[in-house]
Amino acid sequence: MAFVITSPCQGEKAGECVEVCPVECIEEGKDQFYIDPDICIDCGACVSVCPVDAIVEEFDMTPDEEVYLKKAEDFFANR
């Protein structure tokens, strides 16, 4: 997975990321959007349009943010 959507998205769900994604890998969940790791092409288009800076690269995540990677994996595994 190249990018992960983290806590600033919760409750915000602005959706600009969905509109700019060229491969449609971002889907809306109950409390936030999630990036599908199997579809993402690591283009970064979503990062530049996120109004709350919620999207980070997996390798730049802090230990506190790692829970959001697990949430994304679970979201797409349980569909």
Each residue's pLDDT tens digit, 8-55? 999 888 999 999 999 999 999 999 999 998 899 999 999 999 999 999
**Mean pLDDT along residues 59-75:** 93
Within the chain, strands assigned E span 3-5, 26-28, 33-35, 55-57
Total tally of structural domains belonging to the chain: 1
What is the band of 1 on the pLDDT scale with cuts at 50, 70, 90?
Answer: low
Model pTM? Answer: 0.92
Count of beta carbons in the 10 Å neighbourhood of residue 51: 12
Q: Name the maximum alpha-carbon separation found in the chain.
A: 29
Structural domain that includes position 8? 3-77
Mean pLDDT in residue range 72-79: 89
CATH number for the domain that contains residue 34: 3.30.70.20
CA dist., res. 32 & res. 12, Å (int): 7
